Structure 1
Amino acid sequence: MEQEQPDVELQHMEEQELEEELHAMDEEMKDGEPRRRRKKKEKVVDPEPLDDYPGGPHETGLLWKYHVHVARKAADGVWRGKLKCISNRKKIEVMHDEENKSIMAGRWWENRLHATDLGWLQDTSYIMIDHDLIYAFVGRWHEETSSFQLPFGEMKVTLDDVASLLHIPIDGMLLSHGSISRDEAVEWMELYLGSSTGDALKEVEKTKGAHCRFVYLEEIFKDRLKEKSDLAAEYGVTEEVESDKSQWAVDVVYLKYFRDLDLVAGYSWGVVALAHLYKELNNTTRWNCSQVAGYLTSLQAWVFHHFPSTVDNYRNYLDALDLTRVVMTQYGVHRHTRQFERVGLYSGWLRCGERMVRYLPKRVFRQFGWFQTIPRHPIESAPVDVNLAEITNRFRRALDYALTPQMLGETAIHGVEAVDGYIEWFYQVSHPHMILPDMPVPVPRPPEREVLDARAAQEDGDLGYLQLSGKMSRIRDHIYVVMRSGLVPKGTEE
């Protein structure tokens, strides 16, 4: 298991160092004065893995990377600092500045953009990201399962979520590119952006690779906007969906998918958005990571839809969360606009370029309207001995690898049911809480029973039970938050 991605920690550190150098270069260009380079960070030493952890997991076969997870440090009372959320949405606002307002008013580009099936993205991106919300959810994400670990089980952003929230295609061809050389990047910028050889060479030199800076793309965009070129329509997609941890540069390799806008709709851009988000979340769960990227619009929209309550403290809220305040199947009334696609039940690996992530819908059956079962181990569902070409070939026949009706099992009448033993299993293999109490965490009454009892009382007209149940839930949540706020001195809890 440890050999699956042997250099991920080192690669992540190198990416952060490159970002710092790129930022320093941009600052030098602004004021014309050289700045002193930051010292390289010393290599960090990861904690040793244990066989059992306070508060869970008590069996470490499922979350085998828990020892380097941010939740492991949080269990010891060590919380990382502010998490920097990287979103490139503001860069797209250049389309609406005063200089281009008269040109944009004609909206000549709109039909071309909608023909790519990506037109919805101009209306489904947040300019501002809720950092506290992202921070709280990132701490519950796990690479091994590609899911959030919550007090009642697992949840995740699915392909169906992406299709329903963003209205972009989840079926089609995967982006199956590899890395390209600097020479190829120069050639592609000349061919597809109309760059001069000198300008293209400067970009690969400044970014130290096959990249070009966003500020350079803005210049190209403004020129092409006046020419009413298709390149203007590409700009928003490459900056938003394919956002990674670079705030200053984008990979030139993505230009290949926009050589002909008539072919853009044939790609699975939903997989692109999801694979980027999963991969960035995987990196960010490390205890020493300080920033998160990916298509954060999709994550924030997903949270708003499935967790409609408004709170001040997300961390305490998630620790006290139960199924009464979660909307598992959100899109019933939306199906006339965006129908469910069976490709959303594909199970296995997804890829975008050289990035590969696990997609395991069986772990979140309740989100699809079925009883939650105890899922297979992730390595059984998505074996590690698979290469990128095999992932591409499998997804071409995605329906052959989608979960069948026999695999789905029993339909959940109320949308929250789980099989007997699920919650007990989950509390053994996961960490249901981020803030650990001083006493052992007991296995609770199966959380779905609270929802089912409340709905049964509602159907029977038992208003007394509903009022009492609501009051008890609010009292319980309040006590939980206070006990974990640090206001209660240790030893006085009773």
Structure 2
Amino acid sequence: MPLTDIFYDYVDKGLLLGFIERWHFETSSFHVPVGEMSITLDDVSTLLHLPVLGQLCDLEELEFEETRTTLVELLGIDGGAAGVETEDAHGLKVRLSWLREIYVQRCNACGIYAWSVPTLAHLYDQLGGMRSWTYEYFPTMGRRRLVSSYDETTPRAARCRALGRVRLLRRFGRQLDGLTYSGVVWHPYEGHRGIRPFFGIGMYSDGLD
């Protein structure tokens, strides 16, 4: 539920593109002057409050009937509702808004799964959660403000909001090229460990292709 409540009004395109230019798919890491840096399961756990430990979700390609059967078995809905939703979603998928409604109603057991693992794989694929990560590790980059209502019991990704759309790629590129060790917060979550403790497996970041 906390994940579905996190959203951004604006995207710092210059900031994101600056990092994307330095992303290497071969190493799944950003190559910056201070070395290679990457998003880990610990970042996902702290930024989004998703479990690191638990069962893994195995994904496989399904046909329509298999998809409907899976939705019925896992979510406890009837086959007709599952079929209508896949048609409304225009494919063998469901909408997040629909899934959220089902979750609220019937899926309290979802907490047993290690959601950080597939989330990290998705972040690597889409680089969609990169802004929260950059805000934590690179405090001088990006125009952001702290949310006054934020408290440490909520995901760290909700702590900052962008001040507006920023497209100055050259500026962020120069900042990244001049990055030094003192410009990086190497342990950004120390004050959050009482809420999201560190697990050794949280540093895992490789082999998720």
Change (3 A) 1:210 1:124: closer
Offset, 1:336:
2.0
- Residue 192 (1) aligns with residue 77 (2): yes
Residue-by-residue CA offset, 1:32-68 (whole Å, 9 max, x unaligned):
xxxxxxxxxxxxxxxxxxxxxxxxxxxxxxxxxxxxx
- The residue identity in structure 2 corresponding to 1:269 is W
Q: 1:159 aligns with which of 34, 41, 49?
A: 41
Change (3 A) 1:172 1:197: closer
- The residue identity in structure 1 corresponding to 2:134 is V
Runs of at least 4 residues off by over 6 Å: none
Q: 1:337 aligns with which of 171, 186, 195?
A: 195
- Corresponding residue number in structure 2 for 1:261: 107
- Residue 301 (1) aligns with residue 152 (2): no
Offset, 1:322:
1.5
* 8 A Cα contact 2:45 2:196, kept in partner: yes
Offset, 1:194:
5.9
What is the distance in 2 between the residues matched to 1:159 and 1:340? 10
Residue-by-residue CA offset, 1:415-453 (whole Å, 9 max, x unaligned):
xxxxxxxxxxxxxxxxxxxxxxxxxxxxxxxxxxxxxxx
Change (3 A) 1:348 1:138: closer
Say which SS state the counterpart of residue 77 (structure 2) adopts.
helix
The higher radius of gyration belongs to: 1
Residue-by-residue CA offset, 1:272-325 (whole Å, 9 max, x unaligned):
2110011234xxxxxxxxxxxxxx2x3111101111114552122111212221
- Corresponding residue number in structure 2 for 1:128: 10
What is the distance in 2 between the residues matched to 1:335 and 1:197? 40
What is the distance in 2 between the residues matched to 1:196 and 1:170? 32
* 8 A Cα contact 1:146 1:278, kept in partner: yes
Change (3 A) 1:166 1:201: closer
Say which SS state the counterpart of residue 16 (structure 2) adopts.
helix
- Gap runs ≥5 in structure 1: 1-118, 222-229, 236-257, 282-295, 351-356, 358-494
What is the distance in 2 between the residues matched to 1:145 and 1:174? 23
* Equivalence map 1:2-401=2 (5 Å): 119-188=1-70, 192=77, 195=80, 199=84, 202-203=87-88, 207=90, 209-212=91-94, 214=95, 221=98, 232=101, 234=103, 261-281=107-127, 296=128, 298-310=129-141, 313-346=171-204, 348-350=206-208, 357=209
What is the distance in 2 between the residues matched to 1:151 and 1:266? 39
Residue-by-residue CA offset, 1:331-370 (whole Å, 9 max, x unaligned):
12222222111221447533xxxxxx3xxxxxxxxxxxxx
Say which SS state the counterpart of residue 148 (structure 1) adopts.
strand
Change (3 A) 1:321 1:131: same
- The residue identity in structure 1 corresponding to 2:135 is F
Instruction: Say what the alpha-carbon RMSD is for the aligned residues.
Output: 3.1
Q: TM-score scaled to structure 2, two decimals?
A: 0.71
What is the distance in 1 between the residues matched to 2:133 and 2:198? 16
Offset, 1:233:
5.4
- Name which structure has the greater RCO, CA cutoff 8 Å, separation 6+: 2
What is the distance in 2 between the residues matched to 1:309 and 1:276? 27
* 8 A Cα contact 2:41 2:205, kept in partner: no
- Corresponding residue number in structure 1 for 2:163: none
- Gap runs ≥5 in structure 2: 143-167
* 8 A Cα contact 2:86 2:92, kept in partner: no
* Equivalence map 1:399-410=2 (5 Å): none
Say which SS state the counterpart of residue 349 (structure 1) adopts.
coil
Offset, 1:171:
1.1
- The residue identity in structure 2 corresponding to 1:320 is G
Offset, 1:186:
4.0
